Each structure stands twice: as C-alpha cells, then as structure tokens.
Amino acid sequence: MGRRFVMVPGIGGSGPEHWQSHWESLYPNTLRIEPNSWDEPDLADWFAALDRAVAAAPYPPVLVCHSLGCLLFAHWRAASSRAIAAAFLVAVPDPSGPAFPAQAKAFGALPATGFGERPVLAVASENDPYDPTASAIAWAARQGAWPRRLGPRGHLNEASNLGAWPEGQGLLADFLDEIGE
C-alpha cells in the first residue's frame, strides 16, 4: 500500500510487539503521532500531535487508531478542518467502563458531532475488557462509523498476541478497496 498512514496509538504508544508497530514496518509511508505524554495522556498534547502528523502528510492520510487513539480521533475530527482519506478505528474503549484509565478522563467527554463525511471503519472484539458491553462500538456506529465485530480477541493489543495481525491487514485492505482508496 503506497498510501500514507498515520498511526494513532493508545496509552503507552503501542510497544514493539503491537500490530501498529509491525504495520509501520510493513507500510513504509507511515507516520506515528508523537505526543509528550504517552503514559499520562494529556488531551491537548495528543490533539496537537495528531494535528502535526496529519499536516505533515503530503496528501490526506488514513488514520489507523487504537484504543484511546480512537477517542482522540473523535475529539480531533470534531475540531479540525484538516482533510483525511479515512479512519480505521480498532478497540474503541468505553470511557464509562470499569477498565477505562482514570488518567485519560479528559478523553471521555466525547463530542456528539459525528465523524464527518470521510469513511470510518470501527473494529471491535466481542470480549474487549475496555468495551465489555459493546457501548463504545455502538457509540462509534452512531457517530457514522461502519461497525465490524470480530470474535473473542481481547483488546486487540500486544497482550492479544496478534503479531502483525494479518486479519486486521485484510480488514484494512478490504475497507480501502471498498471506499476506493
């Protein structure tokens, strides 16, 4: 895929065994947001990092978001006029769920403006501890995302032992084909 991607990880920045890190190796035209506060997420810092990454892309990128990065996308999309080609949201967390991190509370005040006109695919596992009642994937669908539920895969992160996550690569490729990207 020659398209420019912007990786938008969650808390901690997606370690070396996370599928997002593997994808950066597979897709050389990829940027990763670089906030100063990976472990103590500051919404303004993360927002600015996402905005810088999108601005640095030579043409509208595809955002590939995981967990808290999905909520960041919602905040950014509600306030930014920068163009993107699409967004691929994986493991959207429920900010009112029991596992949602207290240090990310500011991300939980979600905008109700929707995701805009660009296509968004939201992928969820049926046993994600950060979305135990499927509230977050339902919220993403109400914002305009196309929901895609997978079987039990956990939080679709490093702990899920997905490696380069070939299933996710296929989902992304099919999504981009479907929307003509």
> How many structural domains is the chain composed of?
1
Residue 78 confidence (pLDDT): 95
Residue 3 confidence (pLDDT): 65
Bridge partner list, 121? 88, 146
Residue 28 confidence (pLDDT): 83
**pTM confidence score:** 0.96
Residue 1 confidence (pLDDT): 42
CB 38 within 8 A of CB 14: no
Q: Is 161 left (phi over 0), alpha (psi -120 to 50) or beta?
A: left
The H-or-E segment that residue 179 falls in is: none
Q: Residue 4 corresponds to which amino acid?
A: R
CATH for 72: 3.40.50.1820
Residue 105 confidence (pLDDT): 95
**Mind listing the pLDDT tens digit for each residue in 125-181?**
999 999 999 999 999 999 999 999 999 999 999 889 899 999 999 999 999 999 988
Rounded to an integer, the average pLDDT of 7-18 is 94
C-alpha closest to that of 20 among 30, 35, 86, 138:
30
Q: CA 4 to CA 67: how far, in whole Å?
A: 21
Can you give the residue range of the structural domain that contains 53? 5-179
